[in-house]
Copies of this chain bind each other. A is one copy, B any other.
């Protein structure tokens, strides 16, 4: 059955039938606007992302269900990166009229899985026809007043830390785009999964901000080299990243070794990691480490914030080089 067979109202009825209004929803889908409550004493948060077929995702190797998951997850990650809680989401969906209804149901199933996993209620949307699949997600959240973590607070002398490992999603994307290199191992499956089903670090970010001492934070979406540059620009500081301290998974090392590549290219410039990159007062790093330990998410110190005049640098294999955003050419992946 095609979208053109059921029309817009039929589709909306079909995909929203199973959406249960969550806590705080006063009026969900179906009126001119949705109504919702936000915890008292909070600041409101909003973030939005637009994903276009064949620009941001390919349906050749992404299922509709994974697309739904990821579209919501990347927005949840933006809320997390400021220390907030994601609460509500609205979906603007543009679809060709010959789209298969089952695909759209799968997309909403993936959105629903992510919504449940991260405590988000879907409260509104708009579905229209158009020449390509364009998915816009807006997520609303809340953070305790004066506890939001900006990109702009890093100070020279702070430590630079990151959660989890970096580079897996970029390597997973490489395998999805180059299936000839895929041997079907469990490690490779995990790399692909990291690209298709990112896990935003909501709880880890809450623990980091609650522990105190964090001075700047964002989520690694453009790639470590670009994202650290965002912090440096907004905080008016420089940075020294220690290449050997960047956490890498065994699966990434195995793949890189097999392909004769340096895994650090993926970790530095790949992007879409959705790990937390943050700077922290050196005296309080231990407290943050302890706070994170309880969440099961690892973290590592990967460098120090330096004066602005020193620029953005990386120490790697014994020498110090500049680290321009996205552009440390020695590491740069072709086609990225």
Point out the residues of chain B lying under 8 angstroms from A94, CB to CB: 50, 52, 134
Residues of A participating in the B interface, judged by any CB pair closer than 8 Å: 26-27, 30-38, 43-52, 55-56, 77-79, 81-82, 84, 88, 90-94, 123-132, 134, 136, 138, 140-141, 143, 148, 150-152, 218-219, 234
Cα(A319)–Cα(B234), bound, Å: 69
A93-B50 in contact (CB<8A): yes
Point out the residues of chain B lying under 8 angstroms from A141, CB to CB: 33
Cα(A120)–Cα(B93), bound, Å: 24
Cβ contact of A218, chosen from B32, B55, B234, cutoff 8 A = B32
Minimum CB–CB distance for A238 against chain B, Å: 20
Minimum CB–CB distance for A152 against chain B, Å: 8
Cβ contact of A34, chosen from B27, B46, B92, B151, cutoff 8 A = B46
Cβ contact of A33, chosen from B46, B91, B129, cutoff 8 A = B46
A92-B90 in contact (CB<8A): no
Cβ contact of A32, chosen from B81, B91, B124, B140, cutoff 8 A = B81
Point out the residues of chain B lying under 8 angstroms from A150, CB to CB: 27, 31
Contact A35-B126, Cβ < 8 Å, known A46-B88, A50-B92, A50-B94: no
B34-A128 in contact (CB<8A): no
The chain B residue with its CB closest to the CB of A123 is B46
Point out the residues of chain B lying under 8 angstroms from A148, CB to CB: 26-27, 35
Contact A43-B32, Cβ < 8 Å, known A131-B132, A136-B50: no
A131-B131 in contact (CB<8A): yes
The chain B residue with its CB closest to the CB of A38 is B44
A44-B37 in contact (CB<8A): yes
A132-B132 in contact (CB<8A): yes
A32-B78 in contact (CB<8A): yes
A151-B33 in contact (CB<8A): no
Cβ contact of A126, chosen from B27, B36, B48, B218, cutoff 8 A = B48
Cα(A39)–Cα(B47), bound, Å: 20
Cα(A270)–Cα(B52), bound, Å: 31
B234-A46 in contact (CB<8A): no
A130-B52 in contact (CB<8A): yes
